[in-house]
Amino acid sequence: MVEYSDNPKLSEILKSMSDPTRRSLLTRVCQEGPCRVTDLAAFYDISLNAVSKHIKVLEKCELITRTTSGRVHWIEANLDNIKIVENWFKELKSIWELRLDKLTELMENETEK
C-alpha cells in the first residue's frame, strides 16, 4: 500500500495551480515559449500588476523562470517540478488499481462458489 507523505512542494504546486488564471498563464507560456510579461498581460482582462503577482506565485513553486534583460522580463516554463505531481498521481492510480484487482478477485471467488 502507498503511504501518505506530506510533501510541502506538492502542496505548493497544487495550490498555485488551483487558480484558473495561473493555469492559463502556464499553458500559454508552454505553448508560446518564452514570453514577455507585458505580452502575457495583453491576453487577460486584469492589470499588469495582477499578472505579475500570478507569475510570482508560479515562480515561487518553480513552474516558471524569469530572466531580465534591461527592463524586459522574460517568462519561460520549467516543468521539472511537474514530476512531483505526476508521481503523486501515479501513486493514487496504483492504490486504485490494487483495490480494483482485489475487487475483481473477490467477485471471481463469489461466482466460482
User: Is the residue at 93 inside a domain?
Assistant: yes
**pLDDT band at 25; cut points 50, 70, 90:** very high
Stretch 17-35: mean pLDDT, rounded? 95
Is 2 contained in some domain?
A: no
Domain that holds residue 34: 8-112
Report the CATH number that the domain containing residue 55 is assigned in CATH: 1.10.10.10
Segment holding 77, helix H or strand E: strand 72-77
- In a domain, residue 1? The reply is no
Domain count, the chain: 1
Sign of CA dihedral 6, 15, 85, 57: negative
pLDDT greater than 50 at residue 107: yes
pLDDT digits (tens, 9 = 90+) for 82-97: 888 888 888 887 766 6
d(Cα 2, Cα 5) in Å, to the nearest integer? Answer: 9
